[in-house]
Structure 1
């Protein structure tokens, strides 16, 4: 059911790039997804209209680039200790520093930070907030929950952009769609971007165990 709902949502949103965390590893390997070294993050270029290319991957991180934008999918398990959490963010920081272009980071860091829309900041949140400051990024989430289960809600799925985006160029929101997951899909629409496009390809059906983040890219906008 989740697979079908996500396929319908991507078509409805005219998505070009889809990023998920905690995917079904067997499905994404068989279906042509780009996958990180741990199988925790998967990216699919759904429409083929934007010239995205894989540029970096490690455990829990996958990065693709167009001529103007770096898009990163990230996942850090709640079972990772602080040292491993810090190491993964250090790797991501290095990738962002080298990009020298517009940046969008989308992922589940299993952290709490006031700067990311949570009610309080824990140790992971402090490390993440420090990293965002170093690379001139900020989280666009408000306090809207992106995760709800068993009566508990939380802001887990984050959308982080760098200062190369001006405020009038993006619009972020949580989609009110049921995708049979504890995590809600979120979108960030980027307006007026100068993307290099390829010949338009038809949308195709795909499968995934859990949807967390969608990016929709056209010559005029990106939705995540």
Structure 2
């Protein structure tokens, strides 16, 4: 029962979770089929849920003017599978309403969230974020993953719609005991205005990873009607 205690101590009403030890079978708990991503909405915030949904590697809930997304991307997959997972995630995020707060264990490295170098997975996620007008909300370089013998890392990332960050405050890694290899992250989302805060619908941007070169060449060669 450590999680409810920590949530109470920090007055947290929306929790995004990855690989939770326990899944609650309640209306305020949203999880995917594999139980790797979950959102728990507590207290008065439960009355403000207007929509929810589930994807393969993520779940989401719209609370007030903001859509919260919990994501888990496994480290145990080949490069091609990870690329496919990111593509599916991008398609899902593009269709979600409202400003976004995307948080989860992405199992990737990037300088933008405090690592010393950016790997291939990190580049894929940063390219996705750029196409969706998302920015990284992480600050500092405090490790969020600590396991003796395996070193420290920062696989846990928060991204937000480009105009949301001014409303994200006090982003920090909690140093208390969690009974896990991961540390909890806390931040505040303030200044919601339900009637005026709607997400701008941007035209799709090209994702060259999805380009069918042969089909594209054939379309260019075909006579115009």
Q: TM-score range by the shorter chain?
A: 0.7 to 0.9
Give me the whole-angstrom Cα distance separating, in 2, the residues matched to 1:57 and 1:83.
23
Normalised TM-score (structure 1): 0.77
Give me the whole-angstrom Cα distance separating, in 2, the residues matched to 1:126 and 1:42.
25
The within-5 A match list for 1:60-75 is 60-75=57-72
Cα distance change of structure 1 residues 147 and 166 upon mapping to structure 2, 3 Å threshold:
closer
Partner of 2:147: 149
Q: Deviations over 1:126-167 (max 9, x none)?
A: 101111111111112231111111051111111111112143
- Shift, 1:76, TM fit: 0.9
Question: Which stretch has the larger CA shift, 27-36 or 131-140?
Answer: 27-36
- Shift, 1:30, TM fit: 3.9
- Shift, 1:66, TM fit: 2.4
Partner of 1:108: 105
Normalised TM-score (structure 2): 0.77
- Residue 156 of structure 2 corresponds to residue 136 of structure 1: no
Cα distance change of structure 1 residues 195 and 176 upon mapping to structure 2, 3 Å threshold:
farther
Q: Deviations over 1:99-150 (max 9, x none)?
A: 3521111001111111222111111111011111111111122311111110
Unpaired runs of at least 5, structure 2: 196-225
Equivalent residue pairs, number = 191
- Shift, 1:194, TM fit: 2.9
Query: Which is higher, the Rg of structure 1 or of structure 2?
Result: 2
Partner of 1:8: 5
The within-5 A match list for 1:16-31 is 16-24=13-21, 27-30=22-25
Greater relative CO (CA pairs within 8 A, separation 6+): 1
